Chains A and B, each alone.
Chain A
């Protein structure tokens, strides 16, 4: 497997705060990578660096063998990096179908109107909101709005999809649905980075997980291994809990 995306010694500074410190990892083509960590660990910032909404203060990002750091966000989208936002940002005065159409329209400049309509319908069907194509985003449930985000991203026909907490705020049944969706998308050959707090989802869909804490990478490996790493346990639950776990031999 070759690396589709390489994050290479990336650092981000906001004023005096080092939000991300020297983070490196690769994502192989066809892989689902989970990006996890406590609140404020820098996960969303890292996604913003990859999609070029935030400029890193150091390091670079390579996509498909080319450096994409410093390029405009829309050119990166057109190259095949799509994303969703943690706080959904639908175009609230456009219908669901029009929202999705924007994604199809701009990521393949030569596409005809019928091709746009096709890509649009396909993306809506894939996430299961085709029945609501003429609704406005404000008329959708949270779960549907999250899926609209995914549909918009899919309509750009990406090669890499960045999902920023698409499960936050959803109930169990809805989470199951999204997990199935992610698996299905991935089966079609799409590489995915999942930022998530729902651990069950991480272990269920991810091939590998990278853990961030205070902007630094503290673990990288299979979800099971990573989640039982004492450093990761202590990052989430605090040192004392982690020491007790280790003392009890829970982590072997």
Chain B
């Protein structure tokens, strides 16, 4: 799908999303907020997986860190609009620090190291206790705003985060850093001998990815007002994000957003009709997607069109 068509699609979607709260009830507001949240998670994965080729399967760790840092910050008396940015910074900082040892690992090793990191973070939060609430979970201070207003604020905040994340990915797709990442994804030593500082590029990518994922986690915590390790560090958050990114097409700009919408809306329809065998159908869906549209939905759609593939103008980056 060409850049222009992606841009038109993105604009249409954005207008629809801005107008939606005027027309939908609380149920759909919640569903759409969830779509945006997973859209952000999927974009976070897109940066590190789609661009850099590092399979951060356990990226949910930054979701949990974002959620817990927001929760702790608010418990300590910070207002939410300070607590969430602080939480995002915390997630980014942790990624930057851990990036150096972790991103030296290649392929599968990196993927499972992030999974282990997620598990370790869970245990650490439980065992610290005190300010984290330990195994009992952490209630956030209640907002004084009326619920209908609060949920609309969260809706727009989540949408704004998604737009920002998508804008960052758009910038990345044309920037020097984006080229560095795509180059090292295909051949790390090839990129190095062409002057790419691969270590720096990878760490930057993971930091951006963590910041995105952390902001989704922070907003989620504020939305839920009660968090616990099991749900905040749930590995299925990143796994879902992964499927969404795959579904929409990784390495594309709006693919992950489309994927999030498709997956979450279909998942929701399944959830409401077949609550007993939700995961069974979800699993079947995942397998079907992988088997039938491995290149992502965006790419498959563009393949349905006549084959006139316009040559891409490159290098004017």
Contact = CB atoms under 8 A, between A and B. Distances in A.
A78 interface: yes
A78 B180 CA distance: 14
A155 B158 CA distance: 43
A4 interface: no
Given A117-B316, A134-B314, A102 B185 contact: no
A74 B196 contact: yes
Interface string A140-168: 00000000000011011000000000000
B194 A77 contact: yes
Given A106-B176, A117-B315, A133-B314, A91 B192 contact: no
A94 B251 CA distance: 12
A227 interface: no
A73 B193 contact: yes
A94 B182 contact: yes
A101 B182 contact: no
B192 A73 contact: yes
Contacts of B316: 113, 117
B280 to A, nearest CB: 35
A7 B190 CA distance: 23
B187 interface: yes
B183 A94 contact: yes
B77 interface: no
Given A89-B190, A92-B186, A94-B182, A107 B195 contact: yes
B242 to A, nearest CB: 19
Interface string B185-204: 11101111111111100000
A193 B195 CA distance: 19
A105 B187 contact: no
Contacts of B190: 85, 89-91
B186 A91 contact: yes
B314 A98 contact: yes
A11 interface: no
B189 A156 contact: no
A83 interface: yes
Interface string B167-186: 00000000010011011011
A211 interface: no
A30 interface: no
A34 interface: no
A168 B312 CA distance: 31
Given A89-B187, A102-B179, A97 B315 contact: yes
Contacts of A129: none
Interface of B: 176, 179-180, 182-183, 185-187, 189-199, 251, 311-317
24 contacts: A51-B193, A53-B192, A74-B192, A76-B193, A77-B192, A77-B193, A77-B194, A77-B195, A78-B195, A91-B190, A92-B186, A93-B182, A94-B186, A100-B315, A101-B179, A102-B191, A103-B194, A105-B176, A106-B194, A106-B195, A106-B197, A107-B194, A121-B315, A155-B194
